[in-house]
Amino acid sequence: MQKWGICATIKAPVNDILRFAAYHLEKGAHRIFIYLDDDNQAAFDLLKAHPKVRVTMCDATWWKRLGEPHPDKHQVRQSLNATHAYHRRVEVDWLIHMDVDEFLVGKIAVDALLDAVPEDTALTRIRPMESLSGGISAFKRFIPKNTDRERITNAFYPNYGRYTKGGFLSHLGGKVFVRTGLPDVTIQIHNAFQDGQEITGINNQPGLDLAHLHAKSWGDWQASYRFRLTKGSYRDSLGPNKAVEDGGLTMHQLFMMIEDDSGTTGLRAFFDEVCADTPALRARLDAHGVLTLANLDLDTPLSTHFPCVFP
């Protein structure tokens, strides 16, 4: 069986970090490489005690060791740390970079899926599904671009669907498993490169999804909104959902338009249509075959792998 691992650069509450690690250990991860993006000593101590976790505190000493000044952009820190994890002593056959709010969910075991990847294939992409707000059991699935994605999206988001990419607030690219042991590899957030050339492989894996808890509640979404707007997944440097000449907008432009028109009230209306877990939205998603219900149990693995912190 193929051994697989996860690397993640994380700045989050202790229990969120431990739930992320425990969930994937229960799914069969052989190694989890966690790079703490702040001075989270409590998380460091608990993670370090687990035999399958490798944890690094990303302080000034760490960046000096890497020969880098502390990068201002978290995306750069993520890529540098993921590349470092890839080139560590080989302990896994495959490595994937993920965020603390992303979880591998599927009907097939991860190691079994990776076993089936041809030996001459160096990369396989896991597409995302984005959670509906209000829980961790209902998700909208990725809609491939070569389908009638815009028409389908407009059907379940009549007001704002045309401004989004497949109804998602966040990325559609998913994350990639990269076969380890290759020279001159650089890991980026949604892709990997060798000798400066993007590594290609299997572009979609039916049976395994990347469950993304992007907006767990209105309060959670608002707490992250300003950061995402300036530095994260809604920043103005990202591209529009479609060509500008066809009426496309970036997520940054969309949210600025909503704020200018109706402020927080408008943002809440957007959230209620696009994110909120309601029977009506579930029915619309289900009618188009893009609703997934998943039992994302995060507490049971936590109690198994880190019982000392289980509430």
Query: Is residue 237 in some structural domain?
Result: no
Domain count, the chain: 1
Q: Look at residue 310 in the predicted model and tell me its pLDDT.
A: 58
Cβ contact 224:100 at 8 Å: no
User: Is 52 within a domain?
Assistant: yes
Classify residue 93: in a domain, yes or no. Answer: yes
CATH number at residue 125: 3.90.550
Query: Residue 147: pLDDT above 70?
Result: no
**Average pLDDT of 46-74?**
94
Indicate the pLDDT class of residue 311, thresholds 50, 70 and 90.
Answer: low
Number of C-beta neighbours around residue 51 at 10 A: 7
Q: Report pLDDT for 223.
A: 92
Look at residue 152 in the predicted model and tell me its pLDDT: 86
Per the structure, the complete domain to which residue 22 belongs is given by 4-131+168-215+291-309
Does residue 305 lie in a domain region?
yes
Give residue 93's pLDDT: 97
As given in the structure block, the two tokens for residue 83 are 């590349």
Domain assignment of residue 235, yes or no: no
Q: What is the mean pLDDT of residues 80-93?
A: 94
Query: What pTM does this model have?
Result: 0.93
pLDDT at 239 over 90: no
**One-character DSSP codes across 149-210:** HHHHHHHH-TTTGGGSBTTBSS-SS-EEEEESS-SSEEE-SS-EEETTEE---B---TTEEE
pLDDT at residue 156 greater than cutoff 90: no
DSSP β-bridge partners for residue 56:
35
pLDDT computed for residue 201 by the predictor: 96
Does a structural domain hold residue 39? yes
Region of poorest pLDDT, from 12-16, 68-72, 90-94: 68-72
Is there a domain that residue 40 lies in?
yes
- Largest Cα–Cα separation, the chain: 56
